[in-house]
A and B are shown apart, each in its own frame.
Chain A
Amino acid sequence: MNLKPETLAEIEEAIPKYPEKQSAVMPLLHAIQKDQGLLTNEAAEWVAVKLEIAPIHVLSVITFYPFFRQHKIGRRHIRVCRTLSCAMAGGAKVCDKMLSEFDTGLNEVSPDGEVTVEFAECLASCGTAPVMLVDDELYENLDEAKAQEICEKIKAEAMQA
């Protein structure tokens, strides 16, 4: 495991916060996923050694929670809410727009490697439906035109990077 110094620092800071070490499984997985982009079996074993628990315990956590992943995704992570309030407000159309703009399919990495578009369950912003997360940023009151603007912004940021 080749983790960045700031990731290691975050990990060392997280563990003593809890009365029992195993509680730090999720914070460690969050830190490693941010660092590596995904959670490999190697990562699970690394966390297991670190917290003195069995690797299967770590793997069982990884596979339970939807926001932990064992596969690669695009550089930007787009999650469109699909639950009822957003669906009533046209969430599906917003998602279709994101997919067509990046010429990709649901849950796939776009051909340019830039994005992965997924549906997510309720993002708890139903009053401003439909909504989506682009990485940590919440976009609200969406429609196809706004979705297009966001796509253009992502593409422009990719050009600069």
Chain B
Amino acid sequence: MAIHPKEERIILKYADEPGYTPDIDCYMKNGGYEMLKKAVGMEKQAICDEVKNSQLRGRGGAGFPAGVKWSFVDRKSGKPVYMVCNCDESEPGTFKDRQIVHKDPHQLIEGIIISSFATDCAKAFIYIREEMPKGAAILNQAIKEAKEKNFVGDDILGSGYSCDIVVHRGAAAYICGEETGLIESLEGKRANPRIKPPYFPAVLGLYMCPTIVNNVETLCNVVHILRMGADEFAKIGRPNNTGTRIWCVSGGVKRPGYYEVAGITLGELVYDICGGPKDGRTIKAIIPGGSSMKILKNGERFTGKDRDGNEYDWGIEDIPLDYDGIAAAGSMSGSGGMMVLDDSVEIPVALANLMAFYSHESCGQCTPCREGSLWLKKITTRMVHGQARPEDVDLMKSVADQIEGRTICAFGFAVAWPVQSYLAKFEDEFREFADRHSRMGGDRSAAKELACNH
């Protein structure tokens, strides 16, 4: 049920419908598992082709085309292939998978089994973060119900294909959202990400077998691609940005929440759907796709040439709300977790909050990330506590630059990008903030509360 008329709900079509429950009867009453029945009668390659032709891109963060990812699976090794659903939704600002898992779990189960069938996976796993303890129980119940109806388990619907789904609970480590860290965790180890090459999951994944790791929302989309057909699906949104996306908006807007949309601008989401800034406030900046993504400053012009050679000149509200639109504005749509910072938020303090997060979550494997994230936490913390040193702004940039690109996994970028982009766009504020707080002995309680880095 759409909360706002500008929404185009496919994945969350039923999620907030009054009376809609997470049990299998409710799901089937609304057409659930019809696509699985269709799928088991199709050629596996035909399903893979549909997904590829739909141009579906991964909804977890990197936005890699799902069908292409599937096609990388090493079939020559003779090893079993595993399907892993990444439900470790832990990028700050993101809460979309939570809605699917809690309100419509069978849609995910159907998506996983169709995808596993198409790619001939021997077993599927759902890695769910422990911060959603009820989600794990709901999924286990849903799998039990689906097994009773023969949608999961042995010889699914008489097709000869068997696949079980195992729900694996994490234990609050952000790095498990990184696919190779997740795989290590699933093997019963510390979630230290693996280096690529050679450890591309499609070749050397879980138990060194070929493995497909897809996000919750991505797998749900497979059901709808089969229902609509790739061509119809690809008409939603813009080419290369097909289908809907569930955007999660938090922070300084009147109506924060999750909204499933396609083909709109960032301004339509933030101002029309979310009602714009709270009364008496103005929007200062927007973090578009989860806390790791580069910040967009309100008032800045976003210019360049698109792939067809057309020039664009956008304000923040004009940015097309999709992968390519936000990339053209110099950031990334990431996991769809949008944080709106209004004029009450001091950017250096917001950074201090996030650096406490990243230093806590670094797995510790690579020295630049382990040490650098802690340095950044220390520098931003002393800034908040009025003990900034004259060299600190330059030092932060230097540390971030030395992390970026020098780590095994993308976490290094996730630490560096906020620092680099906040400094690039708000350097004067950092210098003024450091100077002001170093001089005055006044009230720093508001800054300490926002930094919240005890």
B185 touches A26 (CB 8 A): yes
A84 touches B191 (CB 8 A): no
Pick the interface stretch among A63-71, A143-151, A152-160: A63-71
A65 touches B256 (CB 8 A): no
Contact flag A85-B92 (CB < 8 Å), given A121-B360, A124-B132, A126-B248: yes
Contact with A along B146-182 (1 / 0, CB 8 A): 0000000000000000001010111111100000000
Q: Per a CB cutoff under 8 Å, which of A17, A67, A123, A127 touches B248?
A: A127
Q: Per a CB cutoff under 8 Å, which of A20, A66, A87 touches B187?
A: A20
A149 to B360, CA, bound (A): 31
Contact with A along B178-196 (1 / 0, CB 8 A): 0000000111111100000
Contact flag A18-B454 (CB < 8 Å), given A84-B291, A85-B251, A124-B89: no
Inside 8 A of A89's CB, which chain B residues have their CB?
251
Tally of contact residues, A, Cβ under 8 A: 48
Q: Per a CB cutoff under 8 Å, which of B187, B337, B452 touches A92?
A: B452
Tally of contact residues, B, Cβ under 8 A: 62
Centre residue among A65, A87, A90 by max chain B CB count within 10 A? A87
Is B317 engaged at the interface, CB distance under 8 Å to the other chain? Answer: no
B173 touches A66 (CB 8 A): yes
- Return B170 CB to nearest CB of chain A, in Å: 7
Is A25 engaged at the interface, CB distance under 8 Å to the other chain? Answer: yes
A61 touches B190 (CB 8 A): yes
Inside 8 A of B187's CB, which chain A residues have their CB?
20, 22-23
Inside 8 A of B190's CB, which chain A residues have their CB?
60-61, 64
B449 touches A126 (CB 8 A): no
B188 touches A129 (CB 8 A): no
B207 touches A124 (CB 8 A): no
- Return B290 CB to nearest CB of chain A, in Å: 10
Q: Per a CB cutoff under 8 Å, which of B92, B132, B363 touches A83?
A: B92
B173 touches A24 (CB 8 A): no
B90 touches A106 (CB 8 A): no
A67 touches B172 (CB 8 A): yes
Centre residue among A24, A25, A125 by max chain B CB count within 10 A? A125
Contact flag A106-B454 (CB < 8 Å), given A83-B357, A84-B93, A85-B92: yes
Is B131 engaged at the interface, CB distance under 8 Å to the other chain? Answer: yes
Is A72 engaged at the interface, CB distance under 8 Å to the other chain? Answer: no
Contact with A along B436-454 (1 / 0, CB 8 A): 0000000000001111111
A17 to B453, CA, bound (A): 39
Q: Per a CB cutoff under 8 Å, which of B97, B169, B186, B257 touches A23?
A: B186
B250 touches A126 (CB 8 A): yes
Question: In residues 109-141 of chain A, which contact B (Cβ within 8 Å)?
Answer: 119-129, 133, 136, 138
Contact with B along A20-36 (1 / 0, CB 8 A): 10111111011000000
Contact flag A122-B449 (CB < 8 Å), given A22-B188, A64-B190: no
- Return B347 CB to nearest CB of chain A, in Å: 11
Is A93 engaged at the interface, CB distance under 8 Å to the other chain? Answer: yes
Is A19 engaged at the interface, CB distance under 8 Å to the other chain? Answer: yes
Inside 8 A of A126's CB, which chain B residues have their CB?
92-95, 248, 250-251, 256, 337, 339
A119 touches B171 (CB 8 A): no
- Return B94 CB to nearest CB of chain A, in Å: 6
Contact flag A19-B337 (CB < 8 Å), given A83-B357, A124-B98: no
Contact flag A90-B449 (CB < 8 Å), given A124-B129, A126-B93: yes
A127 touches B249 (CB 8 A): yes
Write the chain A residue with the least CB distance to B189. A61
Inside 8 A of B89's CB, which chain A residues have their CB?
124
A108 to B250, CA, bound (A): 30
A26 touches B357 (CB 8 A): no
B256 touches A87 (CB 8 A): no
A126 to B90, CA, bound (A): 11
A20 to B191, CA, bound (A): 17
A16 to B369, CA, bound (A): 37
- Return B349 CB to nearest CB of chain A, in Å: 9
A19 touches B168 (CB 8 A): no
Question: In residues 112-149 of chain B, which contact A (Cβ within 8 Å)?
Answer: 123, 129-134
Is A4 engaged at the interface, CB distance under 8 Å to the other chain? Answer: no
A84 to B348, CA, bound (A): 12
A60 touches B92 (CB 8 A): no
Contact flag A83-B171 (CB < 8 Å), given A24-B188, A126-B94: no
Is B225 engaged at the interface, CB distance under 8 Å to the other chain? Answer: no
A92 to B450, CA, bound (A): 7
Write the chain B residue with the least CB distance to A65. B171
Is B350 engaged at the interface, CB distance under 8 Å to the other chain? Answer: yes
A121 touches B171 (CB 8 A): no
B185 touches A84 (CB 8 A): no
- Return B258 CB to nearest CB of chain A, in Å: 6
Q: Per a CB cutoff under 8 Å, which of A27, A61, A121, A133 touches B168?
A: A27
List 27 interface pairs A-B (beta carbons < 8 Å), by A numbering.
A19-B207, A22-B189, A23-B186, A27-B168, A30-B130, A61-B188, A65-B172, A65-B191, A66-B173, A67-B170, A82-B454, A83-B291, A87-B451, A88-B251, A92-B452, A119-B452, A121-B357, A121-B361, A122-B174, A124-B90, A124-B131, A126-B92, A126-B256, A127-B248, A128-B256, A129-B250, A138-B134
In the A-B complex, the 5 residue pairs with the closest CB atoms: A65-B171, A126-B250, A25-B188, A22-B188, A85-B250
- List 9 other contacts, CB 8 Å, given A122-B92, A126-B256: A23-B187, A61-B189, A83-B353, A84-B339, A88-B339, A119-B452, A124-B131, A126-B337, A127-B249
